[in-house]
Structure 1
Amino acid sequence: MNSTLLAVVAASPSNWSVQVGIIMILTNLFAFFIGRYAIQHKGVGPSLPANLPDVLKGFGVPELLATASFGHILGAGMILGLRTTGAF
């Protein structure tokens, strides 16, 4: 069973590059903007320990963790997809 799974999974180099960093930053920003407008009950949990601009009022720790997690999932998928197609 393990050899079958290894044959299915695409091999991707684990080297970090500037392109990988830019893709991860852009997907996290994209997820942040989606979450900013899609999260319906903002500010339920603890707030961030910093002075925030007006556009981020009500954006707390749970929202930050949710959007960053979503951004990393999007970024990992995009990076793996681009590497599989040979884009970089």
Structure 2
Amino acid sequence: MTTSKYAWGYAVRREWSNGSHDLFGFTSDKGEAERSLTRDQSYWRRGPVRPVAVYVVAANASAVEQHAVDGCRSASCPDSPKRGELR
């Protein structure tokens, strides 16, 4: 039996100007992750406070589930929009 902690897929990473980030929305489907990204960008576009960057990253389900809700500054979190891309 495979548990979700070994599952790889995609998540959305939101970067803030204070150097912290959020990691959320794990899915094994890249298209679904990109739709989540579009919704998140639309939400923040109109507000007075905006993230510095929002992008899709390759991520492990366990890393996303155990990620701090907000204010994370860990350098070990998934952070490359290019990592894990299939060509």
What TM-score do the two structures reach when normalised by structure 1? Answer: 0.31
Greater CA radius of gyration, 1 or 2?
A: 1
What TM-score do the two structures reach when normalised by structure 2? Answer: 0.31
Which structure carries more strand by proportion? 2
